[in-house]
Homo-oligomer: A and B are copies of this chain.
Amino acid sequence: LSDRPGEFDLIAKYFAPLAAGNPGALGLTDDAATLDPGPGNSIVVTADALVEGVHFLPDDPADSVASKLLRVNLSDLAAMGAEPMVYLITMALPRDWREDWVAAFAGGLASDQDEFSILMAGGDTVSTPGPLTLSLTAIGRVPAGSELRRTGAQPGDHLWVSGTVGDAGLGLRVLKGDLDGLSDPDRAYLIDRFRRPRPRVALGDRLRGIATAAIDVSDGLVADLGHICDCSKVGAAIHAGAIPLSPAARAAVDQGTATLAGIATAGDDFELLFTAPEGMGAHLREIARASGIEIAAIGSVGEGDGVRLLDEDDTEIALESRGFRHF
């Protein structure tokens, strides 16, 4: 470990290249970075932290940890309808950090920067006696006043979700050795869904002015819909049979190792959950096609409060847990 680079060499070697396309980052050599959102735009900011052993596993590949860190924040920007601009990372590195880990981590960031059109603007690297602890602040922009909020859902609105639900939770179960009977490709697919969220930035960008409320599914479908209901002062019902499932999740349900109730309360999917007025279906499907992202209508908004999960007879399905608790 004695050949490891010091802080400034580490920044110059691995992180400054990630800021190379961003003139406001000043080569990561100044006290702070500058950023110009352009006339008429508001800045959108969000931050999330990940801790080794809590949010990712010690064996997770470094590039997938980088992806997860960046993408959970990109998902928050997507849920606001914001266009990504820059991000800042703070890393608390454990005593035994290895340079090849940092190199792979930076490689994961570089790859995602290309995919999501975002650049590094700064950060901080420190030492910790504890586990690897990462924090990322993502900054985007929206035309002023047009950001997607959680507050606008109305009774009568339809409820939509992107992609497929439950995969990340099942992937974590596979990694923990707690889900048997699936094929190797299905197992690999679910693990990748856990490790590498797909933030729906291209969809969120197109939902501005159409969706009445939006959130990304991080705590679980039921819990996050509950946040929309609380903020919008409405209730909502999800038709369990309409929840979009991947072939791998469908296989687990068919084999009886997963339930729709479990899938509706599993976290970490980072799909977009949104509400839109009735009659917007055709337009929304066109938008989804343009984004290259599938969407599905899964329920509706009503008066009252709280979230109900309904079976095919419109009977409420009892839930053991409402979603992920952070501590």
Q: Which residues of A contact B (CB under 8 A)?
A: 6-7, 24, 26, 29-37, 39, 42-51, 53-55, 76-77, 79-80, 82, 86, 88-93, 121-131, 133, 135, 137-140, 142, 144, 147, 149-151, 214-216, 227, 230-231, 325-327
Query: CB-nearest residue of chain B relative to A142?
Result: B34
Task: Report whether A45 and B30 are in contact in the complex, using a CB–CB cutoff of 8 Å.
Answer: no
- How close is A288's CB to chain B, nearest CB, in angstroms? 20
Query: CB-nearest residue of chain B relative to A88?
Result: B47
Task: Report whether A127 and B326 are in contact in the complex, using a CB–CB cutoff of 8 Å.
Answer: yes
- How close is A3's CB to chain B, nearest CB, in angstroms? 14
Query: CB-nearest residue of chain B relative to A51?
Result: B128
Complex interface: chain B residues within 8 A of A43 (CB): 34-37, 43, 139
Task: Report whether B45 and A215 are in contact in the complex, using a CB–CB cutoff of 8 Å.
Answer: no
Given the interface pairs A32-B76, A131-B128, the reply to whether A7 lies near B45 with Cβ below 8 Å is: no
Complex interface: chain B residues within 8 A of A80 (CB): 30-32, 34
Task: Report whether A325 and B33 are in contact in the complex, using a CB–CB cutoff of 8 Å.
Answer: no
Given the interface pairs A34-B142, A327-B93, the reply to whether A45 lies near B122 with Cβ below 8 Å is: yes
Given the interface pairs A32-B79, A37-B43, the reply to whether A54 lies near B126 with Cβ below 8 Å is: yes
Complex interface: chain B residues within 8 A of A92 (CB): 49, 51, 133
Contact partner, A31, options B90, B127, B215, Cβ 8 Å: B215
Task: Report whether B47 and A122 are in contact in the complex, using a CB–CB cutoff of 8 Å.
Answer: yes
Query: CB-nearest residue of chain B relative to A144?
Result: B36
Task: Report whether B7 and A31 are in contact in the complex, using a CB–CB cutoff of 8 Å.
Answer: no
Task: Report whether A45 and B35 are in contact in the complex, using a CB–CB cutoff of 8 Å.
Answer: yes
Contact partner, A46, options B33, B42, B215, Cβ 8 Å: B33
A-B contact pairs, 26 of them (CB 8 A): A7-B327, A26-B149, A29-B227, A29-B230, A30-B80, A30-B151, A31-B76, A31-B77, A31-B214, A32-B45, A32-B46, A32-B77, A32-B80, A35-B42, A36-B43, A36-B144, A37-B43, A45-B86, A45-B88, A47-B122, A48-B124, A49-B126, A55-B126, A90-B135, A127-B327, A135-B135
- Report the Cα distance A262→B93, complex, angstroms: 28
Q: Which of A80, A86, A138 has the most CB of B within 10 A?
A: A80
Complex interface: chain B residues within 8 A of A325 (CB): 6-7
Q: Which of A46, A76, A92, A140 has the most CB of B within 10 A?
A: A92
Q: Which of A31, A33, A128 has the most CB of B within 10 A?
A: A31
- How close is A20's CB to chain B, nearest CB, in angstroms? 16
Query: CB-nearest residue of chain B relative to A213?
Result: B30
Task: Report whether A31 and B150 are in contact in the complex, using a CB–CB cutoff of 8 Å.
Answer: yes
Other A-B pairs beyond A50-B126, A54-B126, 18, CB < 8 Å: A6-B325, A29-B150, A31-B76, A32-B79, A34-B42, A39-B39, A45-B121, A45-B137, A47-B88, A48-B124, A49-B126, A51-B126, A51-B130, A55-B126, A93-B327, A129-B130, A130-B130, A137-B137
